Amino acid sequence: IAGITQAPTSQILAAGRRMTLRCTQDMRHNAMYWYRQDLGLGLRLIHYSNTAGTTGKGEVPDGYSVSRANTDDFPLTLASAVPSQTSVYFCASSVASGGLTDTQYFGPGTRLTVL
Amino acid sequence: QKEVEQDPGPLSVPEGAIVSLNCTYSNSAFQYFMWYRQYSRKGPELLMYTYSSGNKEDGRFTAQVDKSSKYISLFIRDSQPSDSATYLCAGGDFNKFYFGSGTKLNVKP
């Protein structure tokens, strides 16, 4: 593994179903982030984690939850998916949070469609 | 109002042209600014970052920040077809970054 991996690459999901998007980094970065990218709205921060064991809410956290049990993994869970959660989801990481050490490196994304 | 505003384009230029991509931001506390490039169906990749006002040059790319007008620019000299992508600007303070919606650039051979 080199960098950030995300799984699955794409998924079609029925509304009301539970879904976990996986994100793993091997760079030993302290901070990790989840964004969604929608046409015309750009990247919007869902949740973040400054270090293992801590998480925080971003700009659009409703309907999503995260956990950070260790440095490498940062899964994003949709407890009960709704069509408005159809989007491309990007996981990112940075050495630390704050300033230029917050330079973020992105994964390849997960395309999620909720029907 | 979004924290960072960016014209979505698309912007179409001939190969070799100088490209100017621009963003505005609303929060005067922002100190850190970045430009990302995103190819179709890929994740964004960091192109350049700057701190506070001023210029930064890296090869054919120059990033410029004018904090007095809250204006962020990216200039691409001698543009190439391989520069065709969506360019995202971002600004933030110590804790959080905010991204523009991206400008789609097409460089025609």
Tell me the pLDDT tens digit for each residue of B41-76: 899 999 998 888 888 999 999 999 999 999 999 999
Say if residue B109 is preceded by a cis peptide, omega within 30 of 0. no
Nearest CA of chain A to the CA of B33: how many Å? Answer: 9
Using CB atoms, pick whichever of A102, A105, A106 lies closest to residue B97.
Answer: A102
Q: Are B83 and B105 in contact (CB under 8 A)?
A: yes
Contact residues for B59 (Cβ-Cβ < 8 A; gap 6+):
none
Nearest CA in chain B to A48: B96
Interface membership of A27 toward B (CB under 8 Å): no
Average pLDDT over residues A6-34: 96
Using CB atoms, pick whichever of B42, B46, B97 lies closest to residue A105.
Answer: B46
Strand partners, A49: A32
**How far, in Å, CA of A105 to CA of A29, rounded?**
10
Using CB atoms, pick whichever of B6, B43, B95 lies closest to residue A106.
Answer: B43
A106 vs B44: CB contact, 8 Å cut-off? yes
Nearest CA of chain B to the CA of A67: how many Å? Answer: 19
Band the pLDDT of A99: cuts 50, 70, 90: low
In this predicted model, what pLDDT tens digit does every residue of A65-77 receive, in sequence order?
A: 999 999 999 999 9
Band the pLDDT of A36: cuts 50, 70, 90: very high
Interface membership of A109 toward B (CB under 8 Å): yes
For the cut 90, the answer to whether the pLDDT of residue B19 exceeds it is: yes
A43 vs B96: CB contact, 8 Å cut-off? no
**How far, in Å, CA of B55 to CA of A51, rounded?**
32
Nearest CA among A66, A67, A68, A30 for reference residue A50: A30
Residues in chain B within 8 Å Cβ distance of A105: 45-46
pLDDT of residue A85: 98
For the cut 90, the answer to whether the pLDDT of residue B1 exceeds it is: no
**How far, in Å, CA of B45 to CA of B47, rounded?**
6
Q: What is the DSSP string of chain A?
A: --SEEEE-SEEEE-TT--EEEEEEESS--SEEEEEEEETTTEEEEEEEESSTT--EE-SS-TTEEE--SSSSB--EEESS--GGG-EEEEEEEESSSSGGGG--EE---EEEEE-
For the cut 90, the answer to whether the pLDDT of residue A19 exceeds it is: yes
